[in-house]
Amino acid sequence: MLVLASASPRRKELLSLLVKEFEVLPADIDETPNHQEKAEEYVVRMAIEKAKAASLKYQRQADVNTSAIFIASDTSVVVDGCILGKPASLEDSRSMLRLLSGRSHQVITSLCLCNLEHEHVATKCVTSDVLFREISDVEIDQYWKTNEPKDKAGSYGIQGLGSVFVRSISGSYSAVVGLPLYETAQLLTQFGIHSLEEMSHE
């Protein structure tokens, strides 16, 4: 059994492009970055902690000693070394989008697959560059009212109306949306799940 340790509807949708059957079991973890923690280290640590927390939760729930593979991810927006998570308020969204306006930033997405029973843990980290046009304060306030930025790192969604700010992207589109599909397929293979084979069966 494959278990997606995520509450994100985007991650569920993206994973379903690669795998027919999986369970969803979100994990609640403390997402505070450590003092002076580098962005890559932070996002990889988050993915590992989400996968492990879900794994422990699953073991407590399961009647039998089921061996399952857990998959988790974390996405952060990074600008000038600052890690931007989800905006807590309109004020927060304003300061994030003002920072991103008219320049490029990085979106870093990590991935962790683990099977604790076999002590197998594998991780990947994908960085993409996203270039924004200039955004006015009026536009930031209008965008906030659509609710789209509220649950997204950096306060925008490239897959939605946030695309009006995106001049160009270099890297992995699926990673910016929340799950890097190329890298996910590679790690799934390491755990014995072959997407093309699985999805081609009726």
Ligand X SMILES: Cc1cn([C@H]2C[C@H](O)[C@@H](COP(=O)(O)OP(=O)(O)OP(=O)(O)O)O2)c(=O)[nH]c1=O
Q: Which residues bind ligand X (CB under 6 A)?
A: 6-8, 10-11, 26, 50, 73-75, 77, 86, 107, 151-154, 156-159, 162, 176-178
Cα(115)–Cα(121) distance, integer angstroms: 6
What is the separation of C-alpha 66 from the centre of its chain, rounded to a whole number of angstroms? Answer: 26
Nearest CA-CA partner of 161 in 178, 147, 181, 174: 147
Nearest CA-CA partner of 100 in 144, 127, 131: 131
Cα(156)–Cα(152) distance, integer angstroms: 6
Using only C-alpha atoms, the chain has a radius of gyration, in whole angstroms, of 18
Measured from the CB atom, the residue of 74 and 183 that comes closer to ligand X is: 74
Q: Tell the smallest beta-carbon distance from residue 101 to ligand X (Å).
A: 15
Measured from the CB atom, the residue of 102 and 118 that comes closer to ligand X is: 102
Q: Tell the smallest beta-carbon distance from residue 200 to ligand X (Å).
A: 28
Write the single-letter amino acid at 27: A
Q: Which residue in 30, 74, 141, 151 is the catalytic one?
A: 74
Q: Tell the smallest beta-carbon distance from residue 16 to ligand X (Å).
A: 15
Instruction: Work out the number of other CB atoms within 10 angstroms of the CB of residue 105.
Output: 19
Measured from the CB atom, the residue of 6 and 115 that comes closer to ligand X is: 6
- Catalytic site includes residue 74: yes
DSSP letter at 161 equals G
**Closest CB to ligand X belongs to which residue?**
6
Q: Tell the smallest beta-carbon distance from residue 197 to ligand X (Å).
A: 26
Measured from the CB atom, the residue of 97 and 177 that comes closer to ligand X is: 177
Show Cβ contacts of residue 53 under 8 Å, excluding neighbours closer than 6 positions. 5, 27, 28, 29
Cα(135)–Cα(99) distance, integer angstroms: 10
Annotated catalytic residues are 74
